[in-house]
Structures are given as structure tokens and as C-alpha cells.
Amino acid sequence: MASLITNPVTNTNSDRSKRKKKKNSMVKQNLQRSQKEDHARWKSEAQQQIYSSKLLQALSQVSLGTPSPSAPRGGRAVREAADRVLAVAAKGRTRWSRAILTSRLKLKFRKQKRSQRGSAAAVAAATRTSRSKKPRVSVLKLKAKSVPTVQRKVKVLGRLVPGCRKQPLPVILEEATDYIAALEMQVRAMSALADLLSGSGAASSSSAPPPEWPAPPTSQ
């Protein structure tokens, strides 16, 4: 008789766990669906055209001549502009795009802190006496030897993908897949722009009138 009596607390916990599992599965399915749509979006011609137009607008604001000391120079400025436009095209849905958008602000604050620390370090170095330093064995090198090869490769991959330095392997793989697809689209768009600009430059040079040579002197 006692075995037929059901515990309401146990039933409530089981129903709650079932609802939680169902909710987690739905969240995973939606996430996988959105990731597939993002990957397909990077391969579309429309997305490449949108990125190319925004990249042209960003490159028109890049000064390649004599920039300010705080602004990046030359090819670095072009690369940062291309990556920033790529992150904007991702609309902040991925970790790597948010990391690219926030890296410029972090770099600005780091430069300010370095200038403050540099002045303090100069004062400390002037008053500090020289001490003999003993050679120390790097702990990181010892740890690197004991770390398996797979974990080292995961760490390298996490450093290559922005914002994934301290993330677990599933997150790194998802971000790397989307980041690689976005970079492939960036290469296609920049190659098309380079061909277009080189073609327009060649056409303008060919359409220019030939130079006027001085007439030869007439013999008397």
C-alpha cells in the first residue's frame, strides 16, 4: 500500500528537470541554426557587396600620409579599418566581433596607463641600486613541456581568434568556424576592390592624351 503512494516532491523535481532539458535543447537548436545562417551569410554575394561599400567608406577616412602619433600608420591602419568593418558586419553576435570592436578602446586606455607608469618607473630607476640577478628557470617553459600537444594547439587557436584566449574548446571551435568564414569573405571583397581600383587606374592612364613632344628644328 505504501509503495503505491507517489511522492509529490519527486514528481515536481522530475517535471522540472524535464522542462529544463527541453529548454536547453531548444536553446542549442536555435544557436546551431543561427550559426549556420551566419556561416551561409558570409558566403553570400549580397553580404560581400555590403561589406565592400562600407570598407570603401572606412578606407576613405584613413590617412596614409602623416597621421597623428596615436593613430596607426600605413598598412596597419588599412588592416584595422578592414577588421573593424568586418566586426560591424557581424553585428556583435560573436565573441570575436565584440573583441575587435572593444580592442581599440582598451588600447587607448593602455597607452595612458603606460605613460603614467613610465614616469613612475623612471623615478624609481633613478633611486634604485643595481642588484645582482640570478638566472631563473622559466616556469612557463617547464609547464609547456608537460602540456599535451592537443592542449597547446587549442591555446594557439585561442590566441588566433579574437576574444577566445581563455575560452573552452567548444567555444573556440564555434568562434573559429565563423571567424574563418568571415575572413574568407573579407579576402574576396578586398581582392575584388583591388582589381577594380587597378583596372580603373589603368583605364584612366590609357585614356589620357599622349604627351606633346617638341617639334624638331627645321634645317635652314
Render each residue's pLDDT in the chain as its tens digit; 220 residues: 445 555 665 667 677 777 777 777 666 666 566 666 667 889 888 999 999 999 999 988 886 555 555 555 668 888 999 999 999 999 888 999 999 999 877 666 666 666 666 665 655 565 554 454 555 545 455 455 556 888 889 999 999 999 999 999 999 999 999 999 999 999 999 999 888 888 766 666 666 565 555 555 665 5
Q: How far apart are CA 158 and CA 150, in angstroms?
A: 12
pTM for the structure as a whole: 0.60
- Per-residue b or e along 23-49, where b marks 16 or more CB atoms closer than 10 Å to that residue's CB: eeeeeeeeeeeebeebeebbeeeebbe
Q: Which are the contacts of 111, defined by CB distance < 8 A and separation ≥ 6?
A: 70
CA distance 169 to 158: 8
Residue 143 CA neighbour count, 13 Å, CB half: 5
Among 113, 87, 83, 112, smallest CA distance to 98 is for 87
Amino acid at the residue 93: R
